[in-house]
Amino acid sequence: MSVTAPAGFEASGVAVGLKSTGKPDVAVVVNRGPLKVGAAVFTSNRAKANPILWSEQVIADGAVEAIVLNSGGANCFTGSFGFQTTHQTAEKTAEILGVGAGDVLVCSTGLIGTGDQVFRDKVLTGVAEGIAALSTTGGDDAARAIMTTDSRHKTTVFEGDGWRIGGMAKGAGMLAPGLATMLVVITTDAVIDAAEADAHLRAATRVSFDRLDSDGCMSTNDQVTLLASGASGTTPDAEAFRSALIAVCTDLAVQLQGDAEGASHDITIRVVNAATEDDAVEVGRSVARNNLFKAAIFGNDPNWGRVLAAIGTTDAVFDPYDVDVWMNGVRVCSAGGPDRPREDVDLTPRATDLQIDLKSGSAVATIYTNDLTHDYVHENSAYSS
């Protein structure tokens, strides 16, 4: 049931013609309370879509009644008309629900630079139809409505001790930290306040969505939202709740990785024994963004030399001539030199594990990425056609 698994939430997903496929394209999630707590993190791209500009204002007071999400159009670089469309979306939602427009978040995803009166009318129609279709079992419909190039909807549920967390996500391309081309809605019926929700969400996204680096491209529409209803009446231990939220975010991030456009390998890069966590992240990300390495993995070529070449471009503390590298459990590089024969490495499975030992400390970090394929190039060369 995704976002409707926790008590206090209703959701829906309806089709209003934003997608040419006729599939659901507007989702609504409503928090029935008793708490109306909200927190969100947004893309760090300076080029922000109109829904991001709106939602950044809404979330400031930590109170959220509902969130409306549409696929089939990013509503980005659409001028004042586009911002007015976002504003009207929130106002329409607020009018029907009997709440304030300033407590309604809006998200959009799709092609950048398009948006007209037809788009606006369809979104507003979607708001009305979506609210009319709200139910406590509508989480999966909502998850399907936010899909764009996704091949499947992405949901997760965590069962706590008397409380739950549910989540849905979309994303398949432009997946890079800060955040990614993702829309994520997470709900919980735990009793937490706005400050706690914000702190927990930032801690969770830091080690999950911000470690997903599929193609090095940063979007304009990314938003990860946490809504808390308090309907369980249970106040969880803070550490237990944060751990659960990290698990939920990591689960969704890995689902996004597994559906990356055109990918044939899901690559998990684990950097160990770094001087600092920042160093570990920097080293892992340098490999995740190295097209030569990603192309080699696509060709099932355990070319570990490309790993060393990539990490050598970073400012991290380590001796490049004392690094060990493992590929799918085989140490192919020891102390910066050859170890086991490349033929010992089997890269035919989709799951690909890369471990890099920097021998400079005790910090670790994991980065999630994928290979670079012909299908990725084809899909993105024809995205707007």
Catalytic residues: 181
Average pLDDT over every residue of 206-218? 87
Summarised one tens digit per residue, pLDDT across range 68-114 is 999 999 999 999 999 999 999 999 999 999 999 999 999 999 889 98
pLDDT for res 262: 81
Summarised one tens digit per residue, pLDDT across range 283-293 is 999 999 999 99
Please determine, for residue 28, whether its predicted confidence score (pLDDT) is greater than 80. yes
CA–CA dist 44, 202 (Å, integer):
13
CA–CA dist 298, 364 (Å, integer):
26
Average pLDDT over every residue of 226-250? 98
Average pLDDT over every residue of 53-63? 97
CA 350 to chain centre: 21
Confidence band for 42, pLDDT divided at 50, 70 and 90: very high
Side chain identity, residue 227: L
Secondary structure of residue 290 in the 3-state scheme: coil
Lookup: tokens for 265: 């390998």
pLDDT for res 110: 86
- Look at 182-186, 279-283, 374-378 and tell me which has the smallest mean pLDDT: 374-378
pLDDT for res 215: 77
CA–CA dist 309, 322 (Å, integer):
14
Residues in the chain: 385
CA–CA dist 279, 271 (Å, integer):
9
Domains of the chain (ranges, CATH numbers): 2-258 (3.60.70.12), 266-381 (3.10.20.340)
Summarised one tens digit per residue, pLDDT across range 242-285 is 999 999 999 999 999 988 878 899 999 999 999 999 999 999 99
pLDDT over 70, % of the chain = 96
Note whether 172 and 375 are within 8 A (CB). Answer: no
Confidence band for 177, pLDDT divided at 50, 70 and 90: very low
Note whether 249 and 102 are within 8 A (CB). Answer: no
Lookup: tokens for 314: 């970073």
pLDDT over 90, % of the chain = 85
Confidence band for 178, pLDDT divided at 50, 70 and 90: low
Using only the alpha carbons of the chain, give its radius of gyration.
21
Most confident of 39-48, 308-317, 367-376: 308-317
pLDDT for res 214: 82
Average pLDDT over every residue of 358-367? 98
pLDDT for res 111: 86
Please determine, for residue 382, whether its predicted confidence score (pLDDT) is greater than 90. no
Burial of 260 by CB count in 10 Å (0-12 exposed, 13-18 middle, 19+ buried)?
Answer: buried
Average pLDDT over every residue of 30-36? 98
Name every residue whose Cβ is closer than 8 Å to that of residue 357 and which is 6 or more positions away in sequence. 272, 273, 323, 324, 325, 326
Summarised one tens digit per residue, pLDDT across range 7-21 is 999 999 999 999 988
In this prediction the pTM is: 0.93
pLDDT for res 236: 98
Name every residue whose Cβ is closer than 8 Å to that of residue 382 and which is 6 or more positions away in sequence. none
- Look at 99-113, 167-181, 323-337, 341-355 and tell me which has the smallest mean pLDDT: 167-181
- Look at 24-28, 42-46, 64-68, 258-262 and tell me which has the smallest mean pLDDT: 258-262
In DSSP notation, 28-50 reads EEEE--S--EEEEEE---SS--H
Please determine, for residue 219, whether its predicted confidence score (pLDDT) is greater than 90. no
Mean pLDDT of the chain: 93
CA–CA dist 206, 81 (Å, integer):
34
- Look at 65-69, 112-116, 179-183, 261-265 and tell me which has the smallest mean pLDDT: 179-183
DSSP annotation of 266 reads: E
Interstrand relation of 330-334 and 363-370 (parallel, antiparallel or unpaired): unpaired
